[in-house]
Amino acid sequence: MTPIILSGLGIGILFGFALQRGRFCMNSAFRDIVVLKDYTLIKSVTVALLTSMAGFAIMVLTNTITINPKPILWAGNLVGSFIFGIGMVIAGGCASGITYRVGEGMVGAMTAVLGLMITATLTASGFLAPVKNWLQQWKYPTEGASATVASLFGVDYPYMALGIVVVAVILWVILARRNKEEAAPKQGSLLNRIFKQGWGWLPTGIAIGLVGIAAFPLSAASGRNYPLGITSGWVKITQLVLPSVPTENSLKWDMWLIVGIVVGAAVAALIAKEFKFRVPKWTVLIQTFFGGALMGFGAVCSTGCNIGHVLSGIPQLSIGSLLAGLAIVLGSWLTAYLMFVRPMASGD
Partner 1 sequence: MTDAITPTKTLDVKGKICPYPDMDTMTTLKKMKKGEILEVLLDYPLSVERLPRSAKKWGHKVLSIEALEGPNHRILIEAFGLKD
Residues lying near partner 1 in the complex (CB under 8 A) are found at 20, 23, 25, 27-28, 31-32, 35-38, 40, 92-93, 97, 104, 106, 108-109, 198, 269, 272-276, 278-280, 284, 288, 340, 344, 347-348
Report in angstroms how near the CB of residue 27 gets to partner 1 at its nearest: 7
Cβ-based nearer residue to partner 1, 322 or 336: 336
What is the Cα–Cα distance from 47 to 310, expressed in whole angstroms? Answer: 12
Cβ-based nearer residue to partner 1, 141 or 198: 198
Report in angstroms how near the CB of residue 255 gets to partner 1 at its nearest: 26
Report in angstroms how near the CB of residue 32 gets to partner 1 at its nearest: 7
In degrees rounded to 5, what are phi and psi of residue 73? -120, 95
Cβ-based nearer residue to partner 1, 28 or 318: 28
Cβ-based nearer residue to partner 1, 26 or 135: 26
Cβ-based nearer residue to partner 1, 107 or 245: 107
Report in angstroms how near the CB of residue 78 gets to partner 1 at its nearest: 26
Beta bridge partners of 318: 148
Cβ-based nearer residue to partner 1, 148 or 332: 332
Report in angstroms how near the CB of residue 262 gets to partner 1 at its nearest: 16
> Under 8 Å CB-to-CB from 55, ≥6 apart: which residues?
209, 210, 212, 213, 216, 315
What is the Cα–Cα distance from 28 to 88, expressed in whole angstroms? Answer: 9
> Under 8 Å CB-to-CB from 125, ≥6 apart: which residues?
239, 245
What is the Cα–Cα distance from 112 to 120, expressed in whole angstroms? Answer: 12
Report in angstroms how near the CB of residue 138 gets to partner 1 at its nearest: 34
CA angle at 255 for the pair 98 and 287, rounded to the nearest 5°:
25
What is the Cα–Cα distance from 291 to 86, expressed in whole angstroms? Answer: 8
**301: nearest Cα among 80, 115, 101:** 80
